[in-house]
Structures are given as C-alpha cells and as structure tokens.
Structure 1
Amino acid sequence: MRKLNKKLVLSIVALVMISTLGIGKALGYFTTHTNATGGYKMDLGFTDTKIEEDVDKDGKHVVITNVGDYDCFVRIKVFAADNLKIKYNLGKDWQESDDGYIYYNKVLSSKDKTSELNIKYTLPEVNDDNKDKDYNIVVIQEFTPVVYDDQGNLIANWQQVYETE
C-alpha cells in the first residue's frame, strides 16, 4: 500500500507541475492590455524665417532668410501712416496682390534669401504740426511651408500661416 501511495503522490505532484507550466501562457493569452515605457526623441526639423530690414535715404530694404530645414513661401504686408507715400520697387521676384500682401514669387529654399524688396517712402511737407514727428514703416512677414497637391505640384497653403517677430 505504501508503494501505491508513493506512486500516486508522485503522479499528482508531476501533474501539478506540468499544469503550472502552461498557466503563464494561458494568463498571457487572456490579458487585454500591456504597459510600456521609454521613448525616442525625433527631430523632424522645422521651418522658420528671419527678416532683415535696413533703412537709408533710398527707402526701407527688406530681405527674408529661410533659417529652417524645409522650403517655404513668404509674403509681407506693409503698414505706414496715411500721410506717408509708399512705393514699392518689386523687381522680378515680388508681386503685389489685391489682398494687401506682397508675395515672393519663388519657393524660398532652406538657408536661402529672397531678393531685396525696396519700400520707397516720401515724407509729407514739413510744417509746424509735423516737424518733430517720427514715421514708422512696419513690415509684417509671414511664411507657410511648401505642400504638394494631389498631382505633386507645389502649392502655398496660406490658411496655415506662421509669423515671425
């Protein structure tokens, strides 16, 4: 009888051990979620521009540099006092539009500069009311990244605009 009990006990222990080997996999099968930690920082680059403005007797000279990693389109808007007469020397690369903006006609490649836009101004006649008055010509510059349409053509999406200070 002892011999029978010993065989029975060993069989039960072996059965229990074998059945516990499969429990981990079975529980893993029924797990509905998992947690993970860690990550990797990705640098996808950016698009940004810098405006350079110089003023002399011939006007305000504006050049925009693409300091970002991707190509972009640029435009500017000029604000000045009503009694200050403004005239643009656009050259072949700039175009004045009916919406009040002046658009650069080309794609501005990364690390490239626009051609110069000269904003000529004529001060009003000096009289007692304005002899000590200062005049400002404010240039607002905006850019939008180059995007492609369904046919692969470059387009400017001016609904997605970025301004630089």
Structure 2
Amino acid sequence: MRNQWKRALGVCGLAGILLAGVSATSAYFTTYTTTSGSGSIELGNITHIVEETEGHIYRKDIQIQNEEGSGPVFVRVKLFYGDRSDLSFELGEGWSLGTDGFYYYDDALEATQSTSVLRVSIARVGADAEKPQDFNVVVVAESTPALYDEQGNPAPDWN
C-alpha cells in the first residue's frame, strides 16, 4: 500500500509541476457582421445622343454631348439598320470612319461640349422603296476617358 501512496503522490506532484508551468489561458473568439441595402454609383463620364430628324424620317442629324461635371472624353458612333435601306453620310468636321465600322470624333469633348453633326440620309431600296414603311436606324454611341501623355496630349483608349 505504501508503494501505491508513493505513486499517487508522484503523479499528483508531477501534475502540480505541469499545471504550475501553465500561466496563460487561451481563448478562441469569433464574430461576424452582415449588412444589406443598395445604393447607386456612377462610374465614368456621362454622354448622350442628340438626334434631330429635320422634319422627316429620311434624314437624321446626330451629335454626342458630354454632360456637365464629366471629364474629357473621346466618342465614337456605330449605326445599325436593316437590309431594305441604304445609308449615306455627311461627315461633319472632326468625324472619320474607322476600319471597324465606327465613326470616330477626332477631338476630346470637354464637359458640356458637343460634337459636330454627323448627318445620315436614308435611301430605301428594293421592290417596296416607293411604299411608306417603318424602319429603324439604331445609333450606338460609346465614350472613353481621355488619357494624357507626358506632353499633355489627349488620346483615347478603346481597349
């Protein structure tokens, strides 16, 4: 019985030594938070298309205007139309046709500035050319902020 007491005292002593060496307590805390709601943000500049038909449906004058408060932008325009009409263009000053089918305005537009007029005349072709008919010419305008080189010259980045 004496050996058992010695063993028990030895185990208790060893446990006491081990516990005496542990002075810090560690804890594991977790937390999380959630939120919901919505808000609007504006990325980039704001431009809009100004179209006039000059009183009839066979001619359209297109201009792009940069909104107040927007930075300088470059603009381009592409037109989509059906195969039963043919378009001809009068390029205003500063407009040029690119190899990708877009019409590019050469200069950067500052806030509140507009492009010169890009005039589109519509000639209907085919057997129904003399009959009144409805058709659409869809104008798609894109803008990109003006980027400046070391000399301060603006350039577009259409990528």
TM-score relative to the length of structure 1: 0.62
Shift of 1:132: 5.8
The 8 Å contact of residues 45 and 70 in structure 1, kept in 2 or not, is answered as: no
Provide the C-alpha distance between the structure 2 equivalents of 1:132 and 1:89, rounded to a whole number of angstroms. 24
Q: Secondary structure at the match of 2:146?
A: strand
Q: Which amino acid aligns with 1:90?
A: L
Provide the C-alpha distance between the structure 1 equivalents of 2:103 and 2:145, rounded to a whole number of angstroms. 17
1:65 match: 65
1:6 match: none
Unaligned runs of 5+ residues in structure 1 are: 1-43, 160-165
2:48 match: 50
Moved over 6 A (4+): none
2:134 match: 134
1:117 match: 118
Provide the C-alpha distance between the structure 2 equivalents of 1:48 and 1:54, rounded to a whole number of angstroms. 20
The 8 Å contact of residues 146 and 155 in structure 1, kept in 2 or not, is answered as: yes
Aligned residues with identical type, % of pairs: 33
Output aligned runs, 1:14-163, within 5 Å. Answer: 46-56=44-54, 57=56, 59-67=59-67, 68-125=69-126, 127=128, 131=131, 133-159=133-159
Shift of 1:149: 3.0
The 8 Å contact of residues 78 and 139 in structure 1, kept in 2 or not, is answered as: yes
Provide the C-alpha distance between the structure 1 equivalents of 2:139 and 2:97, rounded to a whole number of angstroms. 14
Task: Say how many residue pairs are matched.
Answer: 115
The 8 Å contact of residues 44 and 145 in structure 2, kept in 1 or not, is answered as: no
Q: Secondary structure at the match of 1:61?
A: strand
Shift of 1:96: 0.8
C-alpha RMSD over aligned residues? 2.5
Q: Which amino acid aligns with 1:66?
A: N
The 8 Å contact of residues 86 and 122 in structure 1, kept in 2 or not, is answered as: yes
The 8 Å contact of residues 75 and 104 in structure 1, kept in 2 or not, is answered as: yes
TM-score relative to the length of structure 2: 0.64
Q: 1:86–1:45: structure 2 CA closer, same or farther, 3 Å change rule?
A: closer
The 8 Å contact of residues 45 and 69 in structure 1, kept in 2 or not, is answered as: no
Unaligned runs of 5+ residues in structure 2 are: 1-41
1:15 match: none
